[in-house]
Amino acid sequence: MLKRLTGMPGDEVKVTPEHVLVNGAEVSTGMALAQRLGVAETEFSRSLTLQENEYWFSGEAATSFDSRYWNAVKREQIVGRAWPLW
């Protein structure tokens, strides 16, 4: 799974049905997968401060299955880093 790192330890994350904000900047929009999962969008709404060793990941599409749904990721869960090939 490949996702963009959008939040690091100490960052403030706010998740709403409309968007995800990290330190006040929008990094994702909507909760398109919530309906497919059969869960109300508000169930995923939350505000948190990423703790030491926690990271927030976002997909490029509104339908991405990312930290909006599975929350922060611990450092030991990160397998590697992707590099673009041209």
pLDDT of res. 37: 85
Q: Tell me if 85 is assigned to some domain.
A: no
Q: Tell me if 50 is assigned to some domain.
A: yes
pTM of the model: 0.89
The mean predicted confidence, pLDDT, of the chain is 93
For residue 19, count other CB atoms closer than 10 A to its CB.
15
Q: Tell me if 82 is assigned to some domain.
A: no
Q: Tell me if 60 is assigned to some domain.
A: yes
Per the structure, the complete domain to which residue 70 belongs is given by: 4-76
Q: Mean of the pLDDT values across residues 62-77? A: 93
Q: Tell me if 83 is assigned to some domain.
A: no
Instruction: For residue 86, name the pLDDT band (cuts at 50, 70, 90).
Output: confident
From residue 18, alpha-carbon distances to 26, 45, 54 in Å are 10, 10, 23
Question: In sequence order, which residues have a C-beta less than 8 Å from that of residue 59 and are 6 or more positions away?
Answer: 3, 4, 28, 65, 66
Instruction: For residue 61, name the pLDDT band (cuts at 50, 70, 90).
Output: confident
Q: Tell me if 44 is assigned to some domain.
A: yes
Question: In degrees rounded to 5, what are phi and psi of residue 82?
Answer: -95, 145
Q: What single letter denotes the amino acid at residue 8?
A: M
Q: Mean of the pLDDT values across residues 54-83? A: 93
Structurally, the chain folds into a number of domains equal to 1
